Amino acid sequence: MSHYSAFSIFKQAMRGNRGWSRAWRDPEPKDNYDVLIVGGGGHGLATAYYLAKEHGAKNVAVVEKGWLGGGNTGRNTTIVRSNYMMPGNTMFYERSMKLWEDLSQDLNFNVMISQRGQYNLCHSPGQMDAARRRGNIMRANGIDADMFDRAEVQRRLPYLDYSASARFPIHGALYQGRAGTARHDAVAWGYARAADKHGVDILQQREVTGYLWDGGRIGGVQTSRGDIRAAKVALCVAGHSGHLAQMAGLRLPIETHSLQAFVTEPYKPLIDTVISFGAAHFYISQSDKGGLVLGGDLDMYNSYAQRGGLPIVEHTLSSAKALMPALSRLKLLRHWAGVMDMSMDGSPFITKTPVDGLYLNGGWCYGGFKATPASGWCFAWTIAKDAPHPDNAEFRLDRFERGYQIDEKGVGPHPNAH
Amino acid sequence: MIRIECPVCGQRPETEFTYGGDATVRRPEMTNEDPQAWIEYVFMRGNPRGWHREYWHHVQGCRQWIVLERNTLSHEIGQAELARDAARAWSRTSEAAE
Amino acid sequence: MKRLASGGRIERSEKLSVSFDGRRLPAVRGDTLASAMLAGGLGTVARSFKYHRPRGIYSAGVEEPGALVHLRDGDRHEPNVRATTTEAFDGLTSGSQNAWPSLRFDLGAVSGLASPVLGAGFYYKTFIGPFRQTTRFWKWCEHFIRKAAGMGRGTYRSDPDAYEKRHRTVDVLVIGGGAAGLSAALAAGRSGAQVLLVEQDFALGGALLSEPVGHAGDAWLDESAAELQGMENVRILTRTTAFGAYDGKTFGLIERVSDHVKAPEAGAVRQRYWQVHAHRTVLAAGAIERPMVFGGNDKPGVMLASAARSYLNRFAVLAGDRVIVATNNDSAYVAAAELAGAGAEVTLVDMRERIGPELDELINGAGVKLLLGHGVLEAKGWGRVRHACIVPVDAAGRAIGQKTIVPADLIAVSGGWTPAIHLWSQIFGKPVYDAGGACFVPDAKPEQHIQTAGTAMAAASMADVIEQGFARGSEAASATGAKGDCGPAPVGLDSGRFWQSDFRKTWAVFNLQGKTEGTAFVDMQHDVKLSDIDQAEREGYVSVEHLKRYTTQGMATDQGKLSNLNALSRMAELRGVQVPDVGTTTFRPPFTPTTIGALVGHEHGRHFRPTRRSPIHDWHVEHGAEMTESGAWLRPWYYPEAGESLEAAYVREASHVRAHVGIVDVSTLGKIAVQGPDAAEFLNRVYVNGWKTLAVGRLRYGVMLREDGFVLDDGVTARLAAHDYFMSTTTANAAKVLAMAELMLQTAWADLRVHVTSVTDQWGAIAVAGPNARALLSQVAGADLSREALPNNHFTRAQLAGVPVRIHRMSYSGELAYEIYVPSRQARQVWEALIAAGPEVNLRPYGTEAMGALRIEKGHVAGPELDGRTTLKDLGFEGLASSKKPFVGSVLRKRDVLEDPDRPVLVGLEIEGMSGAKAGALLFPAAGRTEGHGDGWVSSSTYSPALDRHIAMGLLKNGASRRGETVRVVDFVGNEVLTARVVANHFFDPEGERQNG
């Protein structure tokens, strides 16, 4: 396999780019794997990579129903941050941030992690207080955070609406400088290539249709193209966790909802950071290509359609113009939707399940992308050691029975409100 | 823009409603003290890919809660009835079962 | 390139002032910016995205990949506008973009020299840098990459134009005003259905407009348009794009009301966004011609054959004098003949070895030189096409002989056509592959509410187009119940051969070595070469989505309208599979880029969200109150005296309340009428405390939980009559509480005979607090409000300024206090009556900040404590919970973690020193490290005028047993460490003597 570098690029260019090899193999499945990961998105591929790299697993496969990164990995708004305040979340997301900071080098694949900072705008004294608590918890845990008042936000982001006609005036912002964006597709491809290099079999175009059982224990999966045996089966299928869990007889504290994303035509640099509006669910950044990437609220109703509705289109764009009036004359190029595992407290699961041999990674709501490295790292640990790492210790399925709800927003068991 | 046939107001756009989630989970009796029953009701969901019975609240209309059949994959809309009627039918069937 | 002396559908007499990069163009009414550019002899009008290659005008429509310009200046500047769809208007100024220092000498073009290096996946493979644990190297590189990327330049200026939204319901929506759409609208219109016909162009006619003037289509078009315009049940919107199909048979349209003038007229909107609910839709969006792939196929001077024909016949512009028409199908023959007829020297290069006799006849008659079994291998010329390199080819497009170089200034290409099925696919998903037309068409099923007609359905002749349109229009109308007679279908027209018959499905031309000669592009905006597709395949990026994302093919502003099928075909060829096996990319809205402001309408600035105002709002504003947001409400924050700061004002206001009497508007509280024989039982279920013993005339404070056992809300409820209760909620939770009550009463508790009704807007509420409160109210109301007559937690009815009101005796501030509930319409009258009587008792208004200070002095919880994560125990309310009855949340609140004695609980904090604690600061023990999540946090903080010190409330682990302990209050982000003494949260008058007095 080619090692990627400026030198290799040059060398290949001299040969008409005919010498590049496949980024990952397209193998036939073996009869039996130690670990079979269901779902070839960022989380599944990262899990496979860390199983092989950190735990020396030699016999691992990832099975994917479509193409790698074709789910939410390839649909999200690419924001990376670690500004979580609830115990159980804080250090997990910070682990992810640290892995991001080394990811391109680790994978020898430029995932374009761009630490251009993220502002969480506040629009009332109450929001400022809540942001301060979050920022303080971050700092007390060794994570960078700053509070800015209105004047400082205006100095840094002069193009937002500070006029008297702003419906929700900006009072200030919580800022994380290490936050930013990454190139979403590259994350899937980079992990796939690196996992493949460690011997992981990546099996595309195979949809899991059921499980194989050894008595009460999972013994593998049935797929659209034949059975594959495995000692451990690990689900990384956020958006479809409910469906795959149900095949194993599990009901989950998860609903599937659709979340839209938007991109404008490409423009020369306008916004060099990530901005989250505090008066409505809206965030914006600009990609390296120049498209402004906009995210909004859920469509609110359960959906697997990967297609969004007009009310949220209007809602998101009106938030965009309310925040930054200059966006008005720019043009929307494309909008799409992904389907999310919305959990009952807004936080994920990385855990063994009550079914022997079945492991679950899901419930990511719409924060899954930033979690990708730590999710794979912790899930690999959990699968390899049959016990959670301290960083994912609270991402258990029984936390609702215990009362340990990890509710960053405090909205309670309403999946569409997180 | 989903359009919902409100049994009281007729066909209205989704923006007049708020979504209330799964209508197949049944609230335990007030006197039920089994935490597991309440865990199931509050947290656990079938989350079907396909037809779904769900609550919608006509907040900007008659303020009735409605049970709507809707396909979560195609967004097709099926029957709608007042939650009140659905609840009555439910209690009749469960009484019959007893 | 020149404007012809006659012909075209333009008004030659109406000359327009149109400029590009400061150069005046010979535009007349009826031109597009692109036709004016061609008439003015412009070759290069733009630069491509990646290699900054010169770009000319490639098409005459929405598919344009190259001719992107910026339009207008100043506040109305608009980047990335397609010249081909921009209607010329007087005063139009435009300019080039993505070029520096100028369009002709663009330094960015040096990147083209590095194009072998900058191939597919370049960025993924480099800039990784040698440094571990840091992203700074990439950030540095990225800075330059971002500057080079992007197309046009946006501005930071606010948009001076207005937009509006409209909603409309129709029986039949017809998308596309060409022959198929017109036929559909005629059929549906005649049958009596309500029809909306939309056309993105400024004129109806579609492809008919590209027929020569005098063609039979002219009369047909005039008659059809006239008939439609005469029908009252048909509405026609031109300059209107149907950009998306959505659930619920809803379509989004953008009508460009004022984009064809320099600026909107006074009072006019720039664009109008229509949300149309259509019972049936006929999609007649036509088809887009496919490019051919050969070396230099992106140069100015290469153009779609249909576009060359449009410019000739519609705009009377001959786009070249020495023309090569390169094709693999029949549809370009008419164009070749017409170009020759207009005086060009035309050579037709067809990859096929044989053609039908009628084509042969057409071409011979027009004097076109015909080369069968040939293809264009390369377009040559610096900056624009000057020669074409032609080779004999085999069925796969491979050269089988020597090349000939011929002079040419226009290469008109036709690789077949791609139906525009975007809106169908947005709803119904995967289309099916039509092998004959080598294109995707809708998988039409009768039950679908969108039916497709015309070339969008790969109709094979103009007669078919009209027949399909008419049939789909008629079916759509009858599906909506229209019963009128559609009459006879229009007579078919002849407009030359379409592409499907005898179609050679080969789009690329290769040299003897099997390679493209020079640089051959598939995606001409993003500069994706055929070799990039090949490389993606080698590296395993073989599925359509991987291909698209790895090479960026199809991701430019044209969204692959021209390039998708050619890219798919190449991948299919490389993999040895059929095109449908590679897949098709998902069509996503919008069909063409859509102005954000249009979709926003008027919902921006102050009107971004509705504003709720109390019935006394105007008084506050008139009396100088600073207002603050409280959810959707505006509330008086404080009433500053001259030059007074917030800090000074709230201290003054709060002190005044404790010393004299204050008045505050609490109308924003949620108010719910709870009525019926089972009302007490209902309250018993929603509140944790008991309600059965509450007597008529009394008030009771209650706390309610969510189903999962966390605290949801608190408030005071009055029993007005035996079956009539008046519940109040916090401002923030009013809607949530009501919705929950309604759900319960309509489902699980449907047996309870109770009605709940929101009366928030019906009642104003005024709180009067302070030692002089009784004196004030007794004087104004003339009622006996003595301690005996109206003890705390009782209410009475009274007349205040002639208005019947209810006076609730209850206190939030800890002072002797009353809340007056008054019908909204009289709220200001009552407020003013109280103010008028105020001087004698020294009454002053106070705002929410002072109210907050007073409630913290009393230790009452509010929003910061009711944050959705706190339990009854956490907030010290455990004693309130009844053990004799179940209530919402009563089981789940007992879960292990929620009963953990170590949980943070509500405490008071006396801050040491002169500065106050910040809400959001963390609490740590007096000694030890300050890491992790701390022992708790400060939830609310204030300076207490009554105690003359800074106090705060917070949640602290084991708080109840830590009274007297000193803790550190750390505000990391504010860089401040304070110390505080843990105390009970009732700071002021803990015995409540003042409020009970």
What would the pLDDT profile of C635-679 be if each residue is shown by its tens digit? 999 999 999 999 999 999 999 999 999 999 999 999 999 999 999
Cβ C79–A267 below 8 Å, yes or no?
yes
Exposure string of C971-982, with b = 16+ CB inside 10 Å and e = fewer, is bbbeeeebebeb
Cβ A333–C919 below 8 Å, yes or no?
no
Q: CA of A403 to nearest chain B CA: how many angstroms apart?
A: 10
Cβ C743–B75 below 8 Å, yes or no?
no
Q: pLDDT of C26-80, one tens digit each?
A: 999 999 999 999 999 999 999 999 999 999 999 999 999 999 999 999 999 999 9
CATH classification of the domain holding C921: 3.30.1360.120
Cβ A251–B46 below 8 Å, yes or no?
yes
d(CA C705, CA B37): 18
Task: Determine how many CB atoms are found less than 10 A away from the CB of residue C207.
Answer: 20
- Domain identity same for C39 and C86: yes
Which domain range does residue C316 map to?
291-415+503-520
- Domain identity same for C730 and C784: no
Angle, helices C646-659 vs C848-858, to 10°: value is 60
Domain for residue C549, yes or no?
Answer: no
- For the ranges A351-365, C115-129, C244-258, C922-936, the lowest mean pLDDT is seen at C115-129
Please tell me the predicted confidence (pLDDT) of residue A18: 86
Q: CA of B31 to nearest chain C CA: how many angstroms apart?
A: 6
Window 291-350 of A: residues touching B by CB (8 A cutoff) are 300-305, 307, 309-311, 344
Looking at this protein, which amino acid is placed at residue C307?
A
The contact set of C with B (CB < 8 A) is 246-250, 275, 277, 685, 707-708, 735, 739, 742-743, 746-748, 750, 886, 891-892, 894-895
Does residue C757 carry a pLDDT above 80? yes
Among the partner-chain residues A102, A132, A147, the one whose CB lies closest to the CB of C133 is A102
Q: Where in chain A is the domain with CATH 3.30.9.10?
A: 118-180+255-343
Query: What superfamily in CATH does domain A118-180+255-343 come from?
Result: D-Amino Acid Oxidase, subunit A, domain 2 (3.30.9.10)
In chain B the beta strands, taken as DSSP E runs, fall at 3-6, 10-13, 18-22, 51-57, 65-71, 77-82
- Domain identity same for C334 and C404: yes
Nearest to A258 by CA among A342, A347, A338, A367: A338
Please tell me the predicted confidence (pLDDT) of residue B96: 59
How many domains is chain C partitioned into structurally? 6
- Domain identity same for C73 and C169: no
Indicate the pLDDT class of residue C926, thresholds 50, 70 and 90.
Answer: very high
- Domain identity same for C644 and C676: no
Chain A CA closest to residue C972? A136
Chain B CA closest to residue C745? B84
Please tell me the predicted confidence (pLDDT) of residue A17: 87
Indicate the pLDDT class of residue C118, thresholds 50, 70 and 90.
Answer: confident
- Domain identity same for C250 and C298: no
The CATH number that domain A6-108+184-252+347-417 falls under is 3.50.50.60
A139 CB-near residues (< 8 Å, 6+ apart)? A145, C972, C973
Checking DSSP bridges between strand C345-350 and strand C369-372, what pairing results, if any?
parallel
Nearest to C383 by CA among C33, C99, C18, C88: C99
The 8 Å CB, 24+ separation contacts for C962-966 are: C962/C907, C963/C907, C965/C925, C965/C926, C966/C912, C966/C926
Does residue C582 carry a pLDDT above 60? yes
Please tell me the predicted confidence (pLDDT) of residue B94: 67
- Domain identity same for C691 and C743: yes
d(CA C40, CA A195): 58
Give the residue ranges of chain A where pLDDT is below 50: none
Domain boundary among C728, C758, C788: C758
Q: Where in chain A is the domain with CATH 3.50.50.60?
A: 6-108+184-252+347-417
Domain for residue C810, yes or no?
Answer: yes
Q: CA of B73 to nearest chain A CA: how many angstroms apart?
A: 5
**DSSP class of A142:** T
Assign C738 to helix, strand or coil.
Answer: helix
Please tell me the predicted confidence (pLDDT) of residue A413: 96
Q: pLDDT of C427-437, one tens digit each?
A: 999 999 999 99
Is B98 within 8 Å of chain C by CB? no
- Domain identity same for C249 and C346: no
How many domains is chain B partitioned into structurally? 1
Q: CA of C976 to nearest chain A CA: how many angstroms apart?
A: 11
- Domain identity same for C784 and C662: yes
Is A407 within 8 Å of chain C by CB? yes
- Domain identity same for C900 and C976: yes
Does residue B98 carry a pLDDT above 80? no
Chain A to chain C, count of Cβ pairs less than 8 Å apart?
Answer: 364
Cβ A102–C557 below 8 Å, yes or no?
no
Domain boundary among C758, C779, C796: C758
Among the partner-chain residues A246, A253, A309, the one whose CB lies closest to the CB of B1 is A309
- Domain identity same for C815 and C733: no
Q: Over chain C, what is the mean pLDDT?
A: 96
Please tell me the predicted confidence (pLDDT) of residue A174: 98
Q: CA of B23 to nearest chain A CA: how many angstroms apart?
A: 12
Domain for residue C591, yes or no?
Answer: no
Among the partner-chain residues A302, A400, A413, the one whose CB lies closest to the CB of B52 is A302
Looking at this protein, which amino acid is placed at residue C310?
S
Is A14 within 8 Å of chain B by CB? no
CATH classification of the domain holding B40: 3.30.2270.10
Domain for residue C487, yes or no?
Answer: no
The residue among A10 and C249 whose pLDDT is bigger is C249
Which domain range does residue B63 map to?
3-97
| Tokens found for residue B97 | 């079962």
Cβ A136–C588 below 8 Å, yes or no?
no
Domain for residue C230, yes or no?
Answer: yes
Calculate mean pLDDT across residues C498-517: 94
Mutant choice from A256, A304, A341, A343 vs B, greatest count of B C-beta within 10 A? A304
**DSSP class of C517:** S
Chain C CA closest to residue A287? C146
Chain A CA closest to residue C525? A266
Q: CA of A110 to nearest chain C CA: how many angstroms apart?
A: 4
Q: CA of A309 to nearest chain C CA: how many angstroms apart?
A: 6
**DSSP class of A54:** H
Does residue C155 carry a pLDDT above 80? yes
Which of chain C's residues have a Cβ under 8 Å away from the Cβ of B42?
707-708, 892
Domain for residue C121, yes or no?
Answer: no
d(CA C171, CA C193): 6
Chain A CA closest to residue B42? A413
Calculate mean pLDDT across residues C699-725: 98
Please tell me the predicted confidence (pLDDT) of residue A1: 62
Looking at this protein, which amino acid is placed at residue C737?
V
Omega before C990 within 30 of 0, i.e. cis: no
d(CA C823, CA C828): 10
Please tell me the predicted confidence (pLDDT) of residue C12: 96
Among the partner-chain residues B14, B35, B72, the one whose CB lies closest to the CB of A311 is B14
Mutant choice from A329, A402, A408 vs C, greatest count of C C-beta within 10 A? A329
CATH classification of the domain holding C431: 3.50.50.60
Among the partner-chain residues B1, B72, B74, the one whose CB lies closest to the CB of A302 is B72
| Tokens found for residue A84 | 């979580």
d(CA A289, CA C837): 67
Which of chain B's residues have a Cβ under 8 Å away from the Cβ of C748?
26-27, 87
CB C938 within 8 A of CB C968: no
| Tokens found for residue C47 | 């630069």
Domain boundary among C813, C830, C854: C854
Mutant choice from B16, B43, B55, B67 vs A, greatest count of A C-beta within 10 A? B43
Neighbours of chain C (3+ CB pairs under 8 A): A, B
- Domain identity same for C664 and C724: no
Does residue C576 carry a pLDDT above 60? yes
Among the partner-chain residues B15, B47, B70, the one whose CB lies closest to the CB of A255 is B47
- Identify the bridge partners of residue B52 per DSSP, sorted by sequence position: B70
Assign C957 to helix, strand or coil.
Answer: strand
**What is the complex's ipTM, to 2 decimals?**
0.97
Please tell me the predicted confidence (pLDDT) of residue A19: 87
Backbone region of residue C631 per phi and psi (left: phi > 0; alpha: psi in -120 to 50; beta: other values): left
Please tell me the predicted confidence (pLDDT) of residue C112: 81
